[in-house]
Amino acid sequence: MRWLKVMLLSMVTTMAAHGVVSKTALGKMPDGTVIDLYTLKGDGIEASIMTYGARIISIKTADRNGISENVVLGYNNLDAYLADKTTYFGAIVGRYGNRIALGKFSIDGHQYQVPVNNNANSLHGGPMGFDKLVWQAHEVANGVEMTLVSKDGDMGYPGTLTAHVRYTVQHQALRIDYNVSTDKPTVVNLTNHAYFNLSGDPKKNTILNEEIEIPADKYTPVDSGLIPTGELASVEGTPFDFRKLMTIGDRINNNNAQLKIAGGYDHNWVLRGSNGEMKTAARLYDPKSGRVLTVTTTEPGVQFYSGNFLDGAKFGKAGEGHAKNSGLCLETQHFPDSPNRPSFPSTLLKPGENRRSTTIFTFSTQK
């Protein structure tokens, strides 16, 4: 009978581990490829991830009154995601998230040219980055793992890159684990591009009344093309000082050259602690709902983007759109244009290496 008890216990454990995950077909790509949606239910959180772009399409969590709402921007159908080529809602962006100046970089003396799609620069891997590809998926305990194989020469990048991105939920948190490897030296910088609005109602409430804390003493100023100048500038005495909780809208329109370049915040903060060490990247608080988001990561930087380029444009047959400042991004990452800045933490990946990183979005409430 002991073997039966062990077998039954094993079955219950497996069911408990996998019972929080469900899978449905969301729609089809123009070529007929089925896009699957995985819904992950945990303690106080429900997250939905689809295989197109390995995207987070919703995160539902409760406010201080126990009312659960979606706190990320997105669309109600696949058609709108396919039509939207510019916002990257909820997607894993790569092979290189953020910008590379002029789309050029060198490895071992060989210069590579990748497509430019953001004025004169390359953004988020180019016009057919990882956000516009279909990832393979399989269920894991409390979540789903997405896999993409990007072949040598894809968007001009060298090496066949294999990327695994695992989403899991537990204890009011959504955890993202990244694991990448290559067969040829390449550069890689993966991140998730979710837009948060903790009010749960982005049509009525912008993020300008939300409060943010970023425990960073320095940030990377940018030129007119939003490419880092190479300086690690002190936040002291600037609108970029979020070492204490500050309302986002209080200084966003200050007469500051960096804010004017970006039309708000679209900059990388240099996080305290070493690369690979788990650290706090940001804390976001919405006074109206009481929701709190704490972002922790092993990455060296975080890009705080205040949704400056959202303009209400409507996409897809449903004609859904999102207004300026209706959401914000907290993209944990290596720094923009690192391949051209030897003083920045390196994004070079070599054969035989497995680069791993973790980012955790933890939700709570306060009165």
CA distances from 308 to 326, 352, 366 (A): 9, 40, 28
3-class secondary structure, 182: strand
**331 included as an active-site residue:** yes
Active-site residue, selected from the candidate residues 145, 211, 320, 331: 331
3-class secondary structure, 129: coil
- CA 168, CA 146: separation in Å to the nearest integer? 11
**Can you list the alpha helix ranges (DSSP code H) found in the chain?**
2-18, 78-83, 257-262
Place of tokens 């690979």: 276
Active-site residue, selected from the candidate residues 124, 193, 267, 322: 193
β-sheet bridge partners, residue 148: 163
**334 included as an active-site residue:** no
Contact (Cβ atoms closer than 8 angstroms) between residue 363 and residue 61: yes
- Of 269, 265, 292, 290, the residue nearest 279 (C-alpha): 269
Contact (Cβ atoms closer than 8 angstroms) between residue 176 and residue 79: no
b/e map of 141-151 (b: 16 or more CB within 10 Å)?
Answer: ebbbbbbbebe
Catalytic residue numbers read 193, 331
